[in-house]
Structure 1
């Protein structure tokens, strides 16, 4: 299960994921409000995915992958193992708890303390290795090969991507009519899964920091290319290359990319707190910044939706 996969996630994959995780993860609410932007007030729908188990959408994909593996006898006593900057590991720890198995995670030494603390509180064994996600991923692959643990990938595994896509199915049920949906992009698991749920008239926008923009770089080059992520959102959006599944899944679908600066991300995060008392990560605030700066507007005849996907963050820097 840890090998990157180049086939697109399909609508059928997402429907299967929804059936598999139903009752095991939360059906998160939406909230209609008005957002101040550079072009004036804009009506938006927030998808409150930060209320998900573990404070992030990642639980959807992890639970889908672990339950799928258990159903075919691939989940052994060695448990689950994942490399992550934090949120994917928290999702994996929740999935392991639901499946009543152990969880080991490998995170870079730079992982936020709040996420490491959350992992340990969930009973996960935490290994701090390397300075970047790729260092942690390499170490995790070696550990899984030696132990026989189920190796999950933070964003480039079919079940992980399909599980994330269930957010799109919920949005379609919660909001009438076509949507212009904005999501932040790290390795592209969320974007790839959401793209499989697009209906006629829907549009999907991937928002990235200028300093960590593997999707934007791939679109410019015509294929995934390596980047050197940095900046305020690199702990959650710090993938060095867009995932193969995401790249395959967004082909020929109405998906675009926008970039925002670190300063705009910080301002958007502060605005969410000051106006709505919503606390999110800088990575999540990237999607909000794409709208508040006016770079993303609702396509004609659509409702503008923003997925607030994670809130594992410090509270003392708002």
Structure 2
């Protein structure tokens, strides 16, 4: 697949439907050097996921049965939002661990929502059964070409905004976001994949030589808790020789607090995961290495304002 052309087409396709999210250079977080930040938590529905959802809906024929998606929360909200804006009906399955704020967000976007017990994998099983029963189109959260191309528009947009970095740190769940970044960048810049130590899907897959099922838990599990890395992401990670690190939950929470205290950016744990790798030393840049961090989501489990 020619990912460059796919992402270029996706970038043009979704431009009128997504936010061109802001970027800034910031010297703080106790790092002793400036880093670039892209604030993708300011995207529609609070995460980058709207890009993949709109690209999928705009590039494929949606059947009369509508759409179905399984999600830890952010993807479901994005699909619900895109479906509402484009006039399609959507059925969304989420696990209880998505949390009340994300569940309420999906409901506000007008989707038919079903909450299932357990983890994301249970929601995916239910969504697949619904797809078979109704003929609805499955919008996969991370392991589908249209989703990956849509997420790749983040990096295309960031470069268009003048990204000045040798290395970009990106949080990983199922791998759609980082797959889009790897597909766009190839080896032109170094990409560091950052995962919670309690949900190391890509890290374990790279060690095993293939995607493998991983037990997931921890503070970021409702966004970075896919359990098994997507095949597209795994293949691209091998091709680009991505650098993989894991971080403890306390480092994620510390980065989340730092983003609020120092920049007044309120993000969910997943949104702070990439930054945490720099703050806790899981990734230490070389002298003179220019580094940037993608802040990917702002949907906390509980609404801070009730």
TM-score (norm 2): 0.94
1:16: which partner in 2? 9
Q: Deviations over 1:12-36 (max 9, x none)?
A: 2111111211211111110111133
Residue-by-residue CA offset, 1:240-297 (whole Å, 9 max, x unaligned): 1100111122222141111110111111111111111111111111111011113224
Which residue number corresponds to residue 212 of structure 2?
Answer: 225
Any idea what SS the aligned residue of 1:284 has? Answer: helix
Query: Runs in 1 of length 4+ with deviation above 6 angstroms?
Result: none
Structure-2 residue corresponding to 1:127:
114
Give the deviation of 1:316 after TM superposition. 4.3
What is the distance in 2 between the residues matched to 1:298 and 1:14? 29
Q: Contact conserved, 1:208 with 1:259, CA < 8 A, in 2?
A: yes
TM-score, normalised by the number of residues in structure 1: 0.91
Name the structure 2 match of 1:197. Answer: 184
The residue aligned with 1:58 is 49
Structure 2 portions without partners, runs of 5+: none
The structure 2 residue matched to 1:35, chosen from 28, 39, 48, is: 28
Given candidates 78, 82, 97, the residue that maps to 1:95 is 82
The answer to whether the 8 A contact 1:297-1:304 is kept is no
Cα root mean square deviation, aligned: 1.7
Matches within 5 A, 1:120-269: 120-198=107-185, 201-269=188-256
| Secondary structure of 1:161's aligned partner | helix
* Aligned residue number for residue 3 of structure 1: none
Structure-2 separation of matches of 1:299 and 1:90:
38
CA distance in 2, matches of 1:90, 1:27: 19
Deviation per CA, 1:142-192: give whole Å up to 9, x if none. Answer: 111211211111111110011001111111122254531111000100011
Q: In structure 1, what is the Cα distance between the partners aligned to 2:239 and 2:290?
A: 22
Q: Is the 8 A contact 1:63 1:94 kept in 2?
A: no
